Structure 1
Amino acid sequence: MAEFRDAAGTCIVIGGGLAGLTAALAMAPEPVILLTKAPLGFEASSVLAQGGVAASLGPDDDFSLHLADTLEAGDGFCDEAAARTILAAAPAAIETLIRLGAPFDRDGKGNLLLGLEAAHSRRRIVHAGGDSSGREIMRALTRRVRETPSITVIEGIAARRLVVDDNAITGVIANTSCGPVLFASNRVVIATGGIGGLFQYGTNPAGSFGQGLALAAKAGAVMADLEFVQFHPTALDSESFPLKLISETVRGEGAILIDETGRRFMAEAPGAELAPRDVVARAVWREMAAGHRVFLDARDSVGADFPRRFPAIAGFCQGAGVDPVTQPIPIRPAAHYHMGGIAVDLAGRSSVEGLWACGEAACTGLHGANRLASNSLLEAAVCGRFVAESIAGTSPPRRRKPSFDAAQIVGSDPAPIRPILTAAAGVLRESDGLSQAAQALLPLARSGGAASDPAIVALMIVIAALRRRESRGAHARTDFPGQDRKAQRTTLRLEDALIEARELSSAMAL
């Protein structure tokens, strides 16, 4: 049995990124236990975010334009009501982040500087430290969390199971260096980030392999839009894992995409290099599939000013032996953001009583089939507060003391999953590859071993991708290149994914 800790009346937040910290801070002075695998402020996707936070603050901008850009990028699958509510809260979220200490960049008169990113019709990206927005925002919030007496931070601990009684949360089993611990609580928030660690080429921390999705799926929660995985078109093509990101703001300042001969292959495309991410990622992927190398060339547009404008990017380019002032930067697409996740309403409530989710692990419907750049940090900041407000309005029911046999709780290793999911569910997909991946993932998902949880998430992504027999947003099927006008958003439970995978494996064996 696991060590027992009674956390009745205390909300447990799983995840130390922007969404989790925002939720914990917004719940103060109510007690919160925040569980994080890494030291607070490290190994979170939020820390790596370069661009910033999207908000309609400029004199030539307004909420309706931000909404229109979001809906356009979402390719018909945004939940418009959710998008309206979240985007309308953007200016207030910026003010809250400023109050918490986020050092956003300003001009000589003290006005916020606003950047431009792909598929935005206006400059509306609020940034900090040039291309170090995530790091600077997280530094401020981490300091505030550590200063808040009502928040107990437990680092170096990984949540492994949710304990459920009659479709209601009763506790969390977590692994520590001293063995498993059972936290008894009726209120849990999953804010564990994305799934980039499931792919061979990704920009998320290696530990971001969908652990929160696996937790919720095994607890019986409904998932939504899992097939929609956004591949960032311009990750630094190197041997590092994860790959370093070359922010869209570089293209926003005029950098162009070229092949090894200097040919600008996006020049005639609508929007050119500032087309939606899925369009650019597919263009880059096709060039690479044709045998070309692809580069981002900022020599003429940014030139000698690159180290000042983009200090973090300049630093890791130099570390890879590339001088962006005098050389084009080698790039490739990489798994970057998951539009899908745990299906939640605007308050962050999942289909399991007492389980909330926010940030990338959640699916609110804001992003639809393709996320608009810098709406992710915005969603984390806004919806973290929405979750806190929802929890404050609930009175958890009394339930019997949870129990759980923790003898089989093991760590997680996504390494065996990466080649399978990369080959089948990358930038371009087709039925045979997805079917073979489902067949390979099924025994791993059912194994109970270290690859089990990553395989569960990967299998659900593959099954959702098989179900969507069309191309839309970030989901591109070479065998179904057109759109189905009758298509709807995908919802999926783990038991249904397992059944479909078993049936598929049986059919393939005949």
Structure 2
Amino acid sequence: MNVLVVGSGIAGLTAALHAHEAGHEVTVVTKGGLGDGSTGYAQGGVAGVYGAGDSARQHAADTMVAGAGLSEAEAVDVLVADGAERIAELIARGVAFDRDADGTLLLGREAAHSHARIVHAGGDATGAAISRALVDSVRRTSIGVVEHAFVTDLIVEGGAVRGIRLLLDDATTELRADAVIIATGGAGHLFAHTTNPAGTTGDGIAAAIRAGAAVDDLEFVQFHPTILASGAAFLISEAVRGEGATLIDDRGRRFAFDSHPDGELAPRDVVSRAIARQAAAQGSPVRLDATMLGAGTLATRFPTIDRVTRERGFDWSREPIPVTPAAHYLMGGIVTDLHGRSTIPGLFAVGEAARTGVHGANRLASNSLLEGAVFGARAAAVLGEPWRGPTAERPSSRSAAPEHPSSRSAQRFSRASLQQLMWDHVGLLRTDEGLQLALDTVRGWRASASVPQTAADHEDANLLLIAEATASAALSRAGSVGAHFRLSESTAPAAAPILETV
């Protein structure tokens, strides 16, 4: 088969390598350079190596708990069952996970994990190590690579996906294929504050929506609790808290226990909301205290974080550092089966662009790299087989979002205005009124938008489309669950402030 893989993170490159090794003709199309994207930014590691007293069964149980009851058991079982093989494959492809003196893999623990089961590389540079190894592996093959190409749409003919349209060297062109695998990541730049690199504008998900593919769970956006609250967004890995760092308020009190008995190691949605509330109450950022770990441990275990915090004027071995939440990971996306097949024949989705059912309402830390590797390989394994994707209709407890008349927004559209709107009203803390305002405003902007011409125009159009779908999904899911948290109108405003030090 002729296979196009759109995206070059862990999910896309794993799919490309497996498809190539199965004898398919493979081309990787990527928006930036090969290996650009979110994978290289991942700090924590890959969950799935089990020590004494731990097991795949317990990993699955932790994943289900973190997903707030909405993770699909069959998908979770696939994730943990295939995990060891995929981690071994990464090692074989050249990923040098950290080991102790006798060669045993070092295992870290992160929030909502009951055991230390996370392998890491370079201390806190796991994603970069994985990206380098996979890029090198692809470069050693005959896999075609098209870099700096912006995919604008999918080609659908006879009810099946037959290729892609893209902007390349300022010209529109088409690439034909028997199958297209979307691995373009999430849509972090829907929000004013995000850990995601600049290119994560939901392009693959938006193209799938326009082609008629089913999407689901877009209301579940994970906000990472601990971003350095000084300068450009920089993530402070959850593994720091896993090693013993604590969250403190302006009096030095560990406030996270007010929200959950696991305190700093509660699920991410709980910790993020606790931080946002405390920061708003005290009018300044909360602090992450890692001083008990000592300068040597911090520099060795977290060399990247150690370097960046010091560059920004903090000695975190001596003083707590200011932290704040930011948009991090999209749990929803293109609906797939357990082999990445979407509701349109010929279209696969893997990684953060896909809604596999693993994450439910809240992703368990360090399951994302694992999911990309597991489902990237599984998608490649069924290329050429008769199509048996999911049906377009999925069971749901949600009703359709109410339709309100769309009108031109009083505020003129800009990407920054969209991001602030989404941060204020479709962020950590949501209200009916705020969600409806966001939805009406986005619909007004979409109604008055011109036909996109440039790559930036297409990104804006994609963000608007996904913003509408996300606000609509959030408005129509009654109650709170996981990362989707609804406030009553009588409580505090929905906006979760980002508080930076001067």
- TM interval, shorter chain, is 0.7 to 0.9
Distance 1:218 1:110 in 2: 50
Secondary structure in structure 1 of the residue aligned to 2:292: coil
Match of 2:249? Answer: 259
- Matching residue within 285, 299, 304 for 2:291: 299
1:435 maps onto 2:427 in alignment: no
Distance 1:248 1:326 in 2: 19
Secondary structure in structure 2 of the residue aligned to 1:391: coil
Aligned-pair CA distance for 1:308: 1.6
Match of 1:98? Answer: 91
- TM score, norm. by length of structure 2: 0.88
Distance 1:415 1:388 in 2: 38
**Maintained 8 Å contact 1:131/1:312:** yes
Q: How many residues align?
A: 454
Distance 1:203 1:80 in 2: 29
Any residues of structure 2 matched to 1:437-452 within 5 Å, and which?
Answer: 437-446=438-447, 447=449, 448-449=451-452, 450=457, 451-452=460-461
**Maintained 8 Å contact 1:34/1:154:** yes
- Matching residue within 23, 30, 33 for 1:39: 33
Distance 1:37 1:104 in 2: 28
User: What is the CA deviation profile of residues 432-490 of structure 1, one whole-angstrom value per residue up to 9, with x for unaligned ones?
Assistant: 11111111111333423422211000110000000111100011000399xxxxxxxxx
1:77 maps onto 2:86 in alignment: no
Aligned-pair CA distance for 1:393: 2.8
**Maintained 8 Å contact 1:198/1:415:** no
Distance 1:57 1:420 in 2: 43
Distance 1:32 1:414 in 2: 34
Distance 1:180 1:326 in 2: 55
Q: Say which is worse superposed, 365-374 or 295-304, in terms of deviation.
A: 295-304
1:132 maps onto 2:133 in alignment: no
Secondary structure in structure 2 of the residue aligned to 1:266: helix
> Which amino acid is the alignment partner of residue 28 of structure 2?
L
Match of 1:471? Answer: 480
- Matching residue within 171, 178, 183 for 2:163: 171
> Which amino acid is the alignment partner of residue 125 of structure 1?
I
**Maintained 8 Å contact 1:259/1:292:** no
**Maintained 8 Å contact 1:27/1:389:** yes
> Which amino acid is the alignment partner of residue 92 of structure 1?
E
> Which amino acid is the alignment partner of residue 192 of structure 1?
T
- In structure 1, the gaps of 5 or more residues are 1-8, 397-411, 482-510
**Maintained 8 Å contact 2:49/2:107:** no
Match of 1:30? Answer: 24
Match of 2:56? Answer: 63
**Deviation above 6 Å: which 4+ runs of structure 1?**
none
1:211/1:140 Cα in 2 relative to 1: closer, same or farther (>3 Å)? Answer: same
Match of 1:352? Answer: 344
Aligned-pair CA distance for 1:319: 2.3
Any residues of structure 2 matched to 1:360-439 within 5 Å, and which?
Answer: 360-393=352-385, 414-439=415-440
Distance 2:421 2:344 in 1: 30
Distance 2:193 2:316 in 1: 22
- In structure 2, the gaps of 5 or more residues are 389-412, 491-502
Distance 2:325 2:56 in 1: 31
Match of 2:223? Answer: 231
**Maintained 8 Å contact 2:229/2:285:** no
**Maintained 8 Å contact 2:433/2:489:** no
Secondary structure in structure 2 of the residue aligned to 1:163: strand
- Matching residue within 263, 271, 278 for 2:269: 278
Secondary structure in structure 1 of the residue aligned to 2:51: coil
RMSD: 1.8
Secondary structure in structure 2 of the residue aligned to 1:301: helix
Distance 1:414 1:188 in 2: 29
- Matching residue within 335, 358, 367 for 1:343: 335
Distance 2:261 2:138 in 1: 44
**Maintained 8 Å contact 1:82/1:364:** yes
Secondary structure in structure 2 of the residue aligned to 1:188: strand
Distance 2:362 2:71 in 1: 9
Aligned-pair CA distance for 1:322: 1.5
> Which amino acid is the alignment partner of residue 419 of structure 2?
R
Secondary structure in structure 2 of the residue aligned to 1:96: helix
> Which amino acid is the alignment partner of residue 181 of structure 2?
V
Match of 1:183? Answer: 175
Distance 1:168 1:16 in 2: 23
Aligned-pair CA distance for 1:414: 4.3
Aligned-pair CA distance for 1:185: 1.9
Distance 1:125 1:56 in 2: 6
Distance 2:312 2:51 in 1: 36
Match of 2:499? Answer: none
Equivalent pairs: percent with the same residue? 46
Match of 2:318? Answer: 326
User: What is the CA deviation profile of residues 214-268 of structure 1, one whole-angstrom value per residue up to 9, with x for unaligned ones?
Assistant: 010000010011100000000111231xx11100110011111112332221245
Any residues of structure 2 matched to 1:304-323 within 5 Å, and which?
Answer: 304-323=296-315
1:244 maps onto 2:234 in alignment: yes
> Which amino acid is the alignment partner of residue 277 of structure 1?
R
Distance 1:480 1:153 in 2: 51
Distance 2:309 2:66 in 1: 29
Secondary structure in structure 2 of the residue aligned to 1:281: helix
> Which amino acid is the alignment partner of residue 26 of structure 1?
H
1:178/1:374 Cα in 2 relative to 1: closer, same or farther (>3 Å)? Answer: same
**Maintained 8 Å contact 2:4/2:163:** no
1:358/1:413 Cα in 2 relative to 1: closer, same or farther (>3 Å)? Answer: farther
Distance 2:294 2:145 in 1: 42
Match of 2:402? Answer: none
Aligned-pair CA distance for 1:304: 4.2
**Maintained 8 Å contact 2:227/2:325:** yes
Secondary structure in structure 2 of the residue aligned to 1:300: helix
